[in-house]
Amino acid sequence: MLSGKTAIITGSNSGIGLGAARELARAGADVVLNSFTDSEADHKLAADLGAEFGVKARYIQADMSKGEDCRALVEKAGGCDILVNNAGIQHVAAIEDFPVEKWNAIIAINLTSAFHTTAAALPGMRAKGWGRIVNIASAHGLTASPFKSAYVAAKHGVVGLTKTVALEVAGKGITANAICPGYVLTPLVEAQIPDQMKAHSMDRETVIREVMLQRQPSRQFATVEEIGGTAVFLCSDAAAQITGTTISVDGGWTAM
């Protein structure tokens, strides 16, 4: 379905980004994996993924907290047909105690990187008359939780950026949409579990069910395959007129 297309997925040596890369490759796209590290394991991950799905797969190091790296990623990839802006980090603290450097890093990686990569990718997409921009926002792009000020602000920003890009490219064969996952069990979420266990004096299973998935009516994590599959759908012909919108994959969280 996507053979002949090249997809760049930012922040894709782990979690949702890797899941999205795998589903896009399964659908036939060549993929460019990315993170800020440049290890043998990163390059092997791409080589193995390419071999598994019979597509071209490369790993390109670029730090999504730096604008010049974001633009260089697109340039080194030779442009792309599909851009998945996924890189993201989290920090949880009350706003009065929120470290400024954490705020700046979250805004840079979770929001500003998508501005830079989109700006770099659009000329090539316009020239081809085809492009798909899929931004991985969050349920926190539509609603808030306490102690996640930077993350919620960045993710609301991603939704706003998505709408604006969609309007700027409307009718040019290019769409821009945001996927809004609820909780997906990835390293980003795994890292929050010990703090939550401590804060609530609960064991792992109880804190997952009663605290973390408390707002997710299904009481089930979404999977990286489900998020990746949604990205593939947004790249399909059926989604050609879906643009400037959000798709929630959140077990009912934002229906409440």
Q: Which is nearer to ligand NAD, 130 or 226 (CB)?
A: 226
- The secondary structure element, H or E, covering residue 57 is strand 57-61
Q: Which is nearer to ligand NAD, 154 or 235 (CB)?
A: 154
From CA 131, how far away is CA 190, in angstroms rounded? Answer: 33
Q: For the sheet with 246-249, list strands across it.
A: 57-61, 30-35, 6-9, 82-85, 131-136, 174-181, 246-249
Q: Which is nearer to ligand NAD, 1 or 191 (CB)?
A: 191
At closest approach, how far in Å is the CB of 16 from ligand NAD? 4
Where do the H-state alpha helices sit in 1-81?
15-26, 40-53, 67-76
From CA 242, how far away is CA 199, in angstroms rounded? Answer: 41
From CA 174, how far away is CA 23, in angstroms rounded? Answer: 20
Select the residue interacting with ligand NAD from 79, 131, 181, 244 (CB under 6 A).
181
Q: Which stretch binds ligand NAD (CB under 6 A): 49-57, 83-91, 115-123, 237-245?
A: 83-91
Determine if 165 is a binding residue for ligand NAD (CB under 6 A): no
Judged by phi (left if over 0) then psi (alpha if -120 to 50, else beta), residue 161 lies in: alpha
Determine if 89 is a binding residue for ligand NAD (CB under 6 A): yes
Size of the residue set binding ligand NAD (CB under 6 A): 28
Write the interaction track for ligand NAD spanning residues 120-139; mark x where CB under 6 A is met and - where it is not: ----------------x-x-
- The secondary structure element, H or E, covering residue 31 is strand 30-35
Q: Which is nearer to ligand NAD, 109 or 161 (CB)?
A: 109
Q: Which stretch binds ligand NAD (CB under 6 A): 60-68, 123-131, 198-206, 234-242?
A: 60-68
Determine if 115 is a binding residue for ligand NAD (CB under 6 A): no
At closest approach, how far in Å is the CB of 242 from ligand NAD? 19
Determine if 72 is a binding residue for ligand NAD (CB under 6 A): no
At closest approach, how far in Å is the CB of 154 from ligand NAD? 8
Q: Which is nearer to ligand NAD, 6 or 113 (CB)?
A: 113
From CA 180, how far away is CA 249, in angstroms rounded? Answer: 6
Task: Point out the residues that are catalytic.
Answer: 151
Where do the H-state alpha helices sit in the chain?
15-26, 40-53, 67-76, 100-107, 113-128, 149-169, 187-190, 193-200, 204-206, 224-235
Determine if 14 is a binding residue for ligand NAD (CB under 6 A): yes
Which positions lie near ligand NAD, rule CB under 6 A? Answer: 11-17, 34-36, 63-65, 86-89, 109-110, 136, 138, 181, 183-184, 186-189
